[in-house]
Amino acid sequence: MRLRNSRFVQTILCTSRPFRRFTTILSIACSLLRRLLRIAGSSRETSRSWHTPWCPALTRYKPRRLSHVIGFDDAPFARTHRGDVLVIGAVFAGNRLDGVLIDRVRRDGANSARTLIRMIRGSKFVQHLQLVMLQGIALAGFNVVDVFELHRQLALPVLVIARRRPNLAAVREALITRVPAGRRKWSIIERLGPMEPAAGVFVQRVGISLPDAATVIQRFAIHSSIPEPLRVAHMIAGSGGRV
């Protein structure tokens, strides 16, 4: 025991060839292990930056903050009315009503998207708006809004909101059998797809994710399940009575 623990024996062991070979291999292995760990760490950071937001294991999704919104709704009209129907746009910055836009669209016509684009582009709010809300896909009866053209021309997301899920089969039947250019209008609705539940209402959307849609609805739904831009537009449009 004394011999094994002596300084002389330790010197012999440290300077022996097998021991030097073992320490060299161990040093190389440790160096390789450190390099692999470093590569794995950089790969993990890269994957975090490239994975989509819905992957909770890699990143936490942060909804977009949309605070400048315009909501459109039309005025009520009599069943026998033919001609133009009043359309109101209520502009909100956060919870504050910033302005009101007024125009008209043809009942069961095809000029709703053009009219909304003109209203927004001709207003002082165009530079600040972040989202367009619609109370349903059509204005003035079956004047279906081409939301894809609206999105393309304004470079703004479009969110269609309804309290209840519509009967699309009945809508298709009415459009094709009783409305001029009904097939083209139905193709817009069909392309948009069925309504999805979000924050207590039903939505269709272009240029905005479902989580972002739910977030913006919850933010603006102060006095009811309908967001304030649409609720206020509806109240203003209905204040003048039926056309």
Could you list the pLDDT tens digit for every one of the 243 residues in the chain? 444 455 544 554 455 566 566 667 777 777 777 777 676 655 444 443 333 344 444 345 456 778 899 999 999 988 888 899 999 999 999 999 999 999 999 999 999 999 999 999 999 999 999 999 999 999 999 999 999 999 999 999 999 999 999 899 999 999 999 998 999 999 999 999 999 999 999 999 999 999 999 999 999 999 999 999 999 999 999 886 555
CA dist 81 → 125, 177, 240 (Å): 32, 19, 15
Can you read off the two tokens belonging to residue 58?
């890699």
Secondary structure letter of residue 230 according to DSSP: H
For residue 40, what pLDDT is reported?
61
If residue 232 lies in a helix (H) or strand (E), which one and from where to where?
Answer: helix 228-238
Amino acid in position 239: S
The values of phi and psi at residue 237, to 5°, are: -65, -35
Q: How far apart are CA 230 and CA 70, in angstroms?
A: 8
If you search the block for the tokens 């002082």, which residue do you land on?
124
Instruction: Tell me the DSSP string of 40-54.
Output: HHHHHHHHHHHS-TT
Q: How far apart are CA 16 and CA 14, in angstroms?
A: 6
- Please give the model's pTM, rounded to 2 decimal places: 0.72
Furthest-apart CA atoms within the chain: distance in Å: 116
If you search the block for the tokens 């909804």, which residue do you land on?
63
For residue 33, what pLDDT is reported?
72
Q: How far apart are CA 160 and CA 204, in angstroms?
A: 5
User: Would you give the distance in Å from CA 133 to the centre of its chain?
Assistant: 12
Q: How far apart are CA 93 and CA 225, in angstroms?
A: 19
Are 135 and 129 in contact, with CB atoms under 8 Å apart?
Answer: no
For residue 44, what pLDDT is reported?
47
What is the torsion angle, in degrees rounded to the nearest 10, for the CA atoms of residue 170, residue 175, residue 178 and residue 181?
-170
CA dist 28 → 13, 23, 32 (Å): 20, 9, 6
